[in-house]
Amino acid sequence: MKKPELLSPAGDFERLRYALAYGADAVYLAGKDFGMRTASDNFGEEELQRAVEYAHARGKRVFVTVNTMPRNEEVERLPAFLQALERMGADAAILADLGALALCQKYAPHVAPHISTQANVTNYQAARAYHSLGARRIVLARELSLEEVAQIRDKTPPELELEVFVHGAMCMSYSGRCYLSAYLTGRDANRGNCAQPCRWKYSLVEQTRPGKVFPVYEGEEGAYVLNSKDLCMLENIPALIRAGVDSFKIEGRVKTAYYTAVTANAYRRAIDLYCQDPAGYQLPQWVADEVEKVSHREYSTGFFFGPGQQRVQDGGYLRTWDICAMAQGKDAPQGALLTQKNKFAPGDRLELIDPNGPPRAFTLEKLLDETGQPIDSAPHPHQTVIVPQLRQLDPMALLRRARPAGD
């Protein structure tokens, strides 16, 4: 059985490190231009070079998003960016524009062209056409059913790789090309600057009564008529593998390093366990629980098993756990050194997570400042603390805490 690739988002170098440490085979990221997520920090040219070298040293790959729909002025700057990707050894460029595809083949011949979900590939003929133009991979449109994905696999060359999103936020314009943000705010979603107006709460105004606003009620907070649920296919890993998907993609370049680590860890475990023993596979409960411990909207399976689902009651996130601290990868004489991310204190029930196994729960007995003096809590962002109960932590270990009820 061919094991699919696990592809994770990397909005900056920290998130890249956690994605790879927790099991991603590859990361996708953006330079300062031409990527669809300007809200993330993204990578300058020197940082891109560093990212490629870091990933390759660990046997991993780096895909660079070049998936905006460039205008004339932007497309004139694109050859220089593609030449930089060629020089630094990027593994692939994720492209949505036909002109960008042609330029990639000319100026970055050793960078594999991947066709973005922004290109709206919904059928095998389109996939074949892109393959004939040199594409090595298609990121399929998100509105496809699993049956349609399997049909595309059956009717396309086996060397053409197929990638699907398996986890993360869904856009109400599922394969992109949304103009709502540009119309309402002047921020063009097709050039990476979406204001997410589909998440807003809307009311009605009747034409003959200007200025009279009528709320739309689905629940007490009104109705969020365009707001999509998040995608989660963790429970359906076997079906995706049987459909012939080559790469499982997690959305979230704007999300935190904690989100990146936890989602990569969960999907890595599920993929490996199924490929090791398909007949006896059962998703461990602790793995299923992991995706509930990151900030997310209500989950759905998108279009894989039927129409997509909207969350009209509210536009908010479910946040039941917070990251507390990140390991520094070294010890003080009194215990493990960590960098605080959110407030925590002695007496708190915490979980330690790392790339090596299930989370381990414990009650924090004592907390020290970096000089070794006892403290009542860790209230200051990024302060160094010492946890005497812990030693020799994995350098990528994290501490988290369940939010008290009502928070």
DSSP readout, 198-240? GGS--EEE-TTSTT-EEE--SBTTB--TTPBPEEE-GGGHHHH
pLDDT the model gives residue 137:
98
pLDDT the model gives residue 220:
58
Instruction: Estimate the crossing angle of helix 146-154 against helix 124-132, to 10 degrees.
Output: 40
**Would you place residue 314 in the very low, low, confident or very high pLDDT band (cuts 50, 70, 90)?**
low
pLDDT the model gives residue 134:
98
Asked whether the predicted pLDDT for residue 36 surpasses 70, the reply is: no
Q: Report helix, strand or coil for 9.
A: strand
Q: Which residues contact 279 (CB under 8 A, 6 or more apart)?
A: none
Asked whether the predicted pLDDT for residue 135 surpasses 70, the reply is: yes
What whole-number distance in Å separates Cα of residue 252 and Cα of residue 264? 11
pLDDT the model gives residue 37:
55
Residue with tokens 């949304």: 178
User: In terms of DSSP bridges, do strands 299-300 and 5-9 run parallel, antiparallel, or are they unpaired?
Assistant: unpaired
User: What pTM does this model have?
Assistant: 0.89
Q: Which residues contact 399 (CB under 8 A, 6 or more apart)?
A: 323, 324, 325, 326, 338, 344, 350, 351, 352, 353, 387
Summarize the confidence of residues 371-389 as an average pLDDT.
93
Work out the percent of the chain whose per-residue pLDDT is above 90: 72
Provide the greatest CA pair distance for the chain: 75
What whole-number distance in Å separates Cα of residue 30 and Cα of residue 48? 8
Rounded to an integer, what is the distance from CA 314 to the centroid of its chain?
A: 22
pLDDT the model gives residue 193:
74
